[in-house]
Structure formats: structure tokens, C-alpha cells
Chains A and B, each alone.
Chain A
Amino acid sequence: MTGLQLPYLAEMDWHQLWYMLSKPDNVPIVLLLFMCPFYVWMAFSQARKNDRLIAQLEADPELAKTHHRTIFPYQKGWPKTVQVWPFLLKREFLATVIVTIILIVWSICLDAPLEDPANPNLTMNPSKAPWYFLGLQELLVYFDPWIAGVVLPSIILLGLMAIPYIDVNPRGNGYYTWKQRKFAIGTFLFGFLGLWVSMVIIGTFIRGPGWLWFNPGQTWDHHRVDHQVNRDLHEFFGVDGALPEALFGLGFLIICAGVIGGVTHACMKKMLPEMLKRLSMLQYQVLMQLWILQVLVLVKIVLRLTFTVKNVWVTPWFNI
């Protein structure tokens, strides 16, 4: 079983849990566990204030003419800018001092790991990539290496680079807001927190020997064998033969993409008609395809974890 069931508290292997959490190389991910929610909260608390200010100014056009339009205190006559020396530089200096102190204390308390000398004949189990690549390694569970290791990272980078050119919303340029940019922020946080950071965390804390799923506090059993049989999607439907299999998989993907795209388009039409009007055909295509891909990755992950589906599209040359 892929074991999504939580172990009872009494069966918790606290030693195992502590071992995972306190491994020096895992400390950054423990930090991330706290820092990500903290900074997302920080962004949203300011977004909420800005949204309230926007609502207030929309309701009162006279006020909008005279208001300084930020959530920070301002009175008439105050300069809009301050001298960099000393007002910015003192803060930069303070930041470097704090970072230095944290780093030195961290370095005194925790030693960088050093395992035995490299030995090609003794495979580490589990052998893990550096923690920031564990999201990609976790993707290897769900996809063939050429997708997980090459295609998806490339698409992530290209997709990130495309963001400024496909986000046609002029609002929210230089201030935190949620109500004015729901789609952009929702998509980004889904990708960053929902996919990237969560998979780093799964890859670090959940995956044990044999890259099997171990719940937090479940003893790492090096002799555990999973008898899970993953099957290709066409086997569920009794499709047989190379050509029918390939056509079935392709058809399934096209239908999935069509459904996701169609639903998204309908939602956009209803909720974001202005965005649709602003997007050029090329922008719309790129945006839609990146969005559909992101959702399809999630669909594949869910299909594997719940229905033990191995591949959805099987061809003689590649599988997806």
C-alpha cells in the first residue's frame, strides 16, 4: 500500500521522526516549513489591508483624489522619498549583521554532513538528490526520467520566464493585493507551495528506503517490499495492441486537456471577462497550455497515488 493512513500516536517512532527532522541537511527544509507559511501570511496580511483600502477608495471618489493610496502612514507635506544614506543603508547593514550572526551560530551548532568516501559499489538507500531537487526526484515516481528530469524542469523555467508576458492584468504592480489578482496569485501559489514545496517536503521527510512512502514517525524498514502493481491506464479499460494503446492514451490526454481547458475558459469568461479581452491569441495559448500542463501533472500524481496508474499514454518510443 502507498500508505496514506496516519499511524496511531502510540505507534509513533519518535526516534525516527527526530532523526529525520534533526539531520543537518534537512534543517533548511524544516526552516522552509515555517518560513513559507510565515511569508505567505505576511504577503496576505498586507494584501488584505490594500484590498480594504481599494474598496474604500472605490466607494469614495473624492477621497481617491487626495489619498496617498498606500497602507503606510502619510501626511501632507511629508516627502515622498527618503535619503538612501542613512535610511536604507542602516537597514541593509542591520540585515547583514543579523544574517552573519544567524549563520555563525548555525555553523557552530551544526556540522555539515560528511559520509563515507564515495563508493560506486555501495549504493546509498535511499539515495537522494540535494534537497532543492527532491521535488524533481519525487516526480520520478510519477513520470519517466525524461519528463521528470528534463522536460518538466525546462517547462517550469520557461513558464516562469513567460509570466510577465502572459499576465496582462495592469493592477497590482508594486503592491500586495489578492482581490485584484486572484488568478495569477492562485496559480503561482498552487505551483510553488502546492507542487514544488510540498514535493520537496515529501521527498525529504516521507520517502525512505527504496523511495517508499513512510509516514512521519513510521520506522524506516529497509526490508520492506511493496507489492503494489502499477498498471497502465489502457489496461484498466482492456485496450490491447500498440496502435490502439497509443491512440487510447493520446485520446485520453486530449480529452483531459480539453476538459481542463474548457472548464478554465468557462470560468474565465464568467469571472475574468476583461482578462480574456486583453489577452492576444498567442498569450492566451501559452497561458492556457501552461495552466493545463500544471493541472495535468497533478492529475497524474493523483491517478498514481489513488488508482496505481503507471502510464496514461504508452507508445513504442516513450511513455507518459
Chain B
Amino acid sequence: MADTDPKKPQDEGNEGGLFTTLKGKVKSPAQLNEELKETKVWKSIFRHKLDDSPRNRSLAVLSNVFLHLHPARINRDAVRYNFTWGMGGITFYLFIILTLTGTLLMFYFHPSKGEAYRDIMFLQYDVPFGNLLRNMHRWAAHAMVITTWLHMLRVFMTGSYKPPREFNWNIGVLLLLFTMLLSFTGYLLPDDQLGFWAVTVGTNMARATPVLGHEGPFGPELGITAFNDVRFALLGGSVVDSNALLRAYIWHCIAIPIIASILMMVHFWRIRKDGAISGPAPVMLEAEAARKK
């Protein structure tokens, strides 16, 4: 049908061929690309043009829910790895990895005595990539503890907790606590000797809590026993057993991740509200420091 058009010139050396037939009708990828961007569907999803202009670069960040925690522009030296070490971002990224691998692990895990250990064996030897999944979860957890410490070290060394960021440092200290508690509650879940004794050692300290522990100062005097003290509340019993496993599981998979996520929201929000990342700021001279109240 197309080749009945008399005006259409024939392609030399390829007369009557398919390509000749379609020439002029088939659009180039570039053309298709352009037309795609004019469709209603595209326009409903992407709210700004894509040509390289400062405005579009800003919109790329500001109109994207995943990127909009960033400002549109940032201190030119704040992007340097040797200033930030990237540790805060890496900690957050590890949290995301842990959420993903953790969710996948939950599909294979029953938090009950007997089943828990068997499930880990199952993951290690039978589930496709199960061993890799478990390894990634454990090593990402260890790495997250390290990156949290190093992030705090960096924030301290750059004095970034100073006004106006005092409150955000406090949120950060809480996040440090919850990072370690997340890791600690996960330690018991394989229900092996390592986790069992680590949690036994760890929660034994709670026995000795002043006033609230049955072996702590002033505890026994106030009627605290092994069956109503703070350790009992942590373990759901007087020994590390099935209730402790269930409690660790719920704290680990639901409660602490939610608490930590809320704290992270506040943490990231406050970074923006407190004027983005602290530096590298211009150095302060003595005369200026003396004027500062």
C-alpha cells in the first residue's frame, strides 16, 4: 500500500524491499522519544521538561518524592567525600538494604523455639540465595553499627552539633541507641548458642538495674523479684526462652524499625530546616568568636 505512492522516491539498490517500503513511515528513536514526552501518560507522571537547564535540574530534585529531602542547591564543597565521609548517607542506605533483606528473611522464619534454628539451616542450605541473603543481612547490620559510629565521629570533628543543630545531634544519639538495639535484638533470632548466650549476658545486666532489677541496689528492698523486674519485661520470662525469642522478633522486625524510621524522618527533616549540611563553613577568626554570644 505504501509503495503505491508515486511521489515516494525509490531507494537505490534496495528496490521494493521492506526498508524502502517503510521509509518515511517509521519514526526514528529520537522522534519516538520526543512524541512519547508529548503523551498524556508521560505528562501525568513527569511534571517538568528534561532539557538541561538550571530550572529543570532543580525540578528534578524538588518534584521527586524520593529526592526532595535534598535542597536544590548545596554548598559547593559539601559534596566532597573527604568532608562528609558519606557516612550518614551510607548508614541510611544500609538501613534500606537491611529492610529489604530482612523482609525477605521474614518469609522463611518462624519465631518459635525449634523452628527458628531449623529455618536458619533451611535458609543456609535449601533456599535459593538464602545463605547470601542471611550473610548480607548480618554484615550490613555490623557495617551499619560502624558507619553510625563514624558518622558521629565526623559530626563531632566538624563541630556540626553546634547551634542551630543541637537538637538534631540528640536525635542522632537516639538513632545510635536504636541502631545497636536493632542489632542486639536480631542477634537472638537464629536461636543458636552464640545468640542465646550473648542475650543472656546482655540481659543479665538488667537484673542489676538499680530499683528495677531484682539484684540491683534497692531492688529487693522494694519487693522486686526475678518475676517482676525489668529483665522479666524484656524477656517475657525469667530465662531466655520462647517468649524472649518472640519479643526479640517483634522488637526487631516491627517496633524498633518503626521508631527508628520516625526518628530518621525527624533527623533528615531537621538537617534541611537547620540550614542543610553544616559545612565546609568559612573558618571563624578570634575577633569574630569574641563578638559571638
Q: Which residues of A are interface residues toward B (Cβ below 8 A)?
A: 25, 27-28, 31-32, 35-36, 39-40, 42-43, 46-47, 50, 53-54, 57-58, 64, 68-72, 74, 78-89, 91-92, 95-96, 99-100, 103-104, 106-108, 110-120, 122-124, 127-133, 136-137, 140, 144-146, 148-151, 157, 160-161, 163-165, 167, 169-177, 180-181, 184-185, 188, 192, 274, 317-318
Contacts and interface: CB of A to CB of B under 8 A. Distances in A.
13 contacts: A28-B146, A43-B158, A70-B281, A103-B136, A104-B132, A124-B194, A127-B200, A150-B210, A164-B169, A170-B292, A173-B162, A174-B278, A317-B217
Interface of B: 54, 57-58, 60-61, 67, 70-83, 85-86, 89-90, 93-94, 97, 117, 120-121, 124, 131-132, 134-140, 142-143, 145-146, 149-150, 153-154, 156-163, 165-166, 169-170, 173, 176-177, 180, 183-184, 187, 190-198, 200-202, 204-210, 213, 215-218, 239-240, 278-286, 289-290, 292
9 A-B pairs closest in CB distance: A149-B205, A174-B281, A174-B279, A164-B166, A69-B282, A118-B196, A145-B208, A107-B135, A127-B197
A161 B71 contact: no
Contact of A171 (B58, B170, B280, B284): B284
A165 B284 contact: no
Contacts of B207: 145
B90 A95 contact: yes
Given A39-B153, A82-B79, A89-B70, A110 B184 contact: no
Given A81-B75, A116-B193, A165-B166, A132 B183 contact: yes
Contacts of A83: 54, 57-58, 72-73
B145 A132 contact: yes
Given A72-B80, A86-B57, A175 B158 contact: yes
A274 B290 CA distance: 9
Contacts of B218: 317
B194 A115 contact: yes
Tell me whether chain B's interface is mostly helix, strand or loop, or mixed: helix
Contact of B76 (A80, A96, A137, A184): A80
B209 A146 contact: yes
Nearest to B201: A129
Given A89-B67, A175-B280, A180-B284, A163 B169 contact: yes
A242 to B, nearest CB: 15
